[in-house]
């Protein structure tokens, strides 16, 4: 799967990019027909500790799934986004199997 990571206003290190790539590749276990993933990493200028925003747009045939999470770190946010996408993909797969 092609993963496009966008980080406006800062540069992400390779360790973070590898972590995100690994999480996105894991989603293919739940649904084979994922086309690409766009990952947006943003830092919100607030005094709160949870100022990292991870937004993932996952393209599958027929539509796109969008998940947005706010967390203390990008790794934590990417992990919770991946878990949400897993649930969405499993639901989608079950729905397709039920209609077929």
Which residue stretches of the chain are H helix?
A: 14-26, 74-99
Predicted confidence at residue 48, as pLDDT, reads 82
Domain count, the chain: 1
Domain that holds residue 69: 2-99
Predicted confidence at residue 47, as pLDDT, reads 81
Looking up tokens 């991946």, which residue turns up? 82
Predicted confidence at residue 38, as pLDDT, reads 96
Q: Which of 46, 53, 2, 6 is nearest to 28 (CA)?
A: 2
Predicted confidence at residue 87, as pLDDT, reads 95
Predicted confidence at residue 64, as pLDDT, reads 93
Predicted confidence at residue 37, as pLDDT, reads 95
Predicted confidence at residue 70, as pLDDT, reads 95
- pLDDT, block means (10 residues), the chain with 100 residues: 91 94 93 92 87 95 93 95 95 87
Predicted confidence at residue 68, as pLDDT, reads 97
Question: For residue 43, what is the domain's CATH number?
Answer: 3.30.160.100
């Amino acid at each position: 799967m092609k993963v496009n990571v966008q980080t406006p206003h800062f540069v992400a290190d390779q360790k973070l990019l590898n972590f995100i790539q690994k999480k996105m590749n894991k989603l293919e276990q739940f649904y084979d027909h994922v086309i690409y993933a766009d990952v947006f990493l943003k830092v919100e200028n607030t005094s709160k500790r949870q100022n990292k925003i991870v937004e993932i747009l996952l393209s599958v045939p027929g539509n796109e799934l969008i998940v947005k999470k706010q967390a203390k770190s990008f790794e934590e946010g990417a992990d919770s986004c991946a878990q949400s996408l897993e649930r969405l993909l499993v639901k989608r797969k079950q729905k397709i199997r039920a209609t077929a």
